[in-house]
Copies of this chain bind each other. A is one copy, B any other.
Amino acid sequence: METMASVGEFALIQRFFTPPSGPLPPGVVLGVGDDGAVVSVPRTQQLVVTTDTLVEGIHFAADADPVLLGQKALRVNLSDLAAMAAQPRWYVLSLSVPGDTPVVWLEGLVSGLRQAAQRPAGEVVLIGGNLTGAARGSLSITITLLGLVGRDRAVTRGGAQVGDHILVTGTIGDAALGWAIQRGILTGVAAADQAALLQRHHLPDPPVELAIALQESAFSRSAIDLSDGLIADLGHLCRASRVGARVHAERVPLSPAARRQVEQQGPALLARLLGGGEDYELLFTVAPSAVAAVHVLAEMMGVPVTEIGVITAGSEVVVTHQDQPLMVEAGGWDHFGGV
């Protein structure tokens, strides 16, 4: 069986990462194959940069499907750019892979990356990277993703204003439930619900295009991607904006599978879902006058959007469930402690 070590670094790069000949993709002056890549940033645009790593044993299991991993590795970075409302354009990939890893694993990863790179506005282009060995059991995948946003148009965590409505895309908590199922912590879930929740754990779907459309319409005053847990991330946004927030837990959108778990286990589980991480949905705030237009835009783009609360004066994030206080462990997804 071909392994990474038997084929070797240079042949692997040649086989999997050398771009097809032909015209260069938009903005790329020099792609994979030199000491660095060169790209051109239009003068009306600024560059947005983010980086995220998936580590074996921390973010995924040794037997994880490499195609899903490739997709997830790029998508978690797309989620960060969505939060900034930037158009994803180019990425570099740093892979540390044990030498005895089969080459078909790399083939799967590259295929997953390519799938995730296909976006409505065009392909996100691999422009460089690094491939190196690693100790067994410590495979890691780092992506640095570059995007473009109009000059001074990036949406940040710092723009929320008192009275803004707080909205989230998609549904919350599915990934945390999928993670718990994967680890054997959550059992007794119906097969169809298990599949749905695992899918959401493996394959986040950040609303990149909606985030850009919201920014282009100047609807979103502030935004953050939900990676550490809804309440933890809302806390980050509130600190950056020097405001507080009130969240109505019963309004937080749940998938049918998650709703069935909450109905069985009660509000304590709901609280855990608001603390759980890796939703990779967008939380954003909008002036009251813009809320109706945001719903129209989101519906046009086919992205579910739900109001879950309001930005308040002060600095506290208050969560209630049917007007009773709800305690959420909002420490976030600490990658040294796990959840």
Interface positions of A (Cβ within 8 A of B): 4-5, 8-10, 29-30, 33-41, 43, 46-53, 55-59, 79-81, 83-84, 86, 90, 92-94, 96, 99, 127-135, 137-138, 140, 142, 144, 146-147, 149, 151-152, 154, 156-158, 223-225, 240, 331-332, 334-337
Contact = CB atoms under 8 A, between A and B. Distances in A.
Copies of this protein in the assembly total 2
A269 B5 CA distance: 26
Contacts of A34: 83-84, 156-158, 240
A22 to B, nearest CB: 16
Q: Which 10 A-B residue pairs are closest in the complex by CB-CB distance? A: A138-B138, A35-B83, A36-B50, A144-B144, A43-B43, A5-B336, A41-B41, A132-B335, A35-B80, A99-B336
Contacts of A59: 132
13 contacts: A9-B334, A30-B156, A36-B48, A36-B83, A38-B47, A40-B47, A41-B47, A50-B92, A51-B94, A51-B142, A137-B138, A138-B140, A142-B142
A315 B127 CA distance: 26
B35 A225 contact: yes
Interface centre among A55, A128, A144, A337 (most CB of B within 10 A): A144
